[in-house]
Structure 1
Amino acid sequence: MVTPYYRRYKYDGTITNSLAYPLTRSLYGTIIRQPIGGEFGMSGSLAKILAHQKFGDSNIAKFGIDIWMTTTAICEGFSTAQAAMGVKLHDAKDPAASLAPMFEQVVGSMFSLMDRYEVKWKAIKGAQSVDLFGEDVEQKPVSFEVDFLKLIQNFKTGFKKYEQVIKTIVQDDVYHELKAVSHSHLNKLHFPDELWAKTVYDCAIAYNYGPFPSNTVLEALVPLYFAKTASFILSTKYMSSSLAEAIVEGTAEVFEEEKDHLSNYWNIAKKKYPKQSKKHAISKN
């Protein structure tokens, strides 16, 4: 499979930057910068495998389709590469205004696939780069405005609404750190990468093995994504998109470093909570 490699504005692709890229990299050991890029090249053999799979997770049939194809290609042993596509040209999406449904669909699909490919990701340590074809020309992407205040408002409102869910599904130390973030002053909000990685991992576990319905776990994670996005905006406010890319890479590296957190607590939750009928199964015909 060949995925696109784009130059993007630093606040474009926040779902990719904060979750799809670092989680795919840490889980499956493959450094694919745009795993939900929307354009793919694939062999007939991969197309045949995809065509014969069926899934009970409606998220995959929506915005989850890209991550499903990418993850399937990696985990079924197909070669992967990237093609330089220049600047990403599309309608910009303010993460505060329009990305919550997309977030739930993409992340729900990723979490579902983690259960299917548990044996695969548990065996992976570290990550390897893939070939990049074409010339990666340095181009300046078009900037756009992000409603920072709305991000903060969405975070604080959502955290208050889902605090008891969050408190239940994440580890105690993670919850206390998240609580501290929720009390942060507007322009001093800082969401450390280590905390974000552990939060995502805890939510992935609870999505598959936990006391709440899967959709409730996703809804509880959304305001935390808003907080992480706001923190990223503050930390990269005076950076170019190229410089901000180093921050994204740092986040991905932390996901790799914190992977033991996922493995350890996944095993504990799997014993504690029998597999529930959460309607996100994926299977082959």
Structure 2
Amino acid sequence: MKQGQFFLFVLLVLAGVMVAAPALASPFATEVVSATGTFGPGSLYSDPSAALGKPTTWIKGSDVGGKNMACSMVYPSWNTDPEGNKLITTIGAQAQITVTFDHNITNDPLNPYGIDFIVFGNDLYWGTGMVGPTTNMETYYVASGTGWSDPGIVSVAQYLEGPWYTYSTGPYFDTTTYPTQAFAWDRENDAWGAELDWTKPVNPALNPTEDFVGLSVADVIDLYAGSAGGTGYDLAASGFEWIRYIKVESSSSTKLAEIDGFADVAPVPVPGAVLLLGSGLFRLLGQRRRK
């Protein structure tokens, strides 16, 4: 529920109007409405519907002794998940995938850093050596703020027929800005911890080549501050107050971007003081009614 919706809900309740709780919308893209061009190579990476729903958490461990791997900034999405479901789609030259959500994504300046939606690819940071299922992320370091990078272009629209706005000069998804990081790092047990927030962007003021190089992966995860990564987009640049459709495409014939998922950014939680004010109003209303 956006903050404006929350305040309206409180006001209606205070006025004695019975209000049904709003239906919970999915924070992720729910439908592919258009997919044209060539995808792949191979059937494993040629299904546009792999971009729907939550981005990758676990990856089937086909190259690490059969043990499953957590999707991280140093081991990106590929192959399938442990149940055999496809994870990413490779977008060929001149190809495009358009997805929609089951609700409007709004231009909300109260969102973290003003970012309104996030696009996830399968980029990574080069680290100090090989990564395996038991790698300790406190002693595995980000060697550079660069790595796999296949820049993809994003466009947005309110209606499928347009008009469309294209982020032609960036930001680009599937780059090494903030690779996907599915889980926190549990320093006490030297293991992957709680799943991170797909609807929270990384602070865009962080510069990977300046702020992350030489740090342990665990330290960089801490700088993500609870975010699961991805490339964030502000709708203010588009001029739209809201959008319903997002289109992704590769930037060139040699840079074939991979798409893993999309997320609507959750608004900043309503401050506790506001909730206390609301509860105080409820008590005041009850006192007046008793009188």
The structure with the greater share of residues assigned to strand is 2
The alignment's TM-score, normalised by the length of structure 1, stands at: 0.29
- Structure number with larger C-alpha Rg: 2
The structure with the greater share of residues assigned to helix is 1
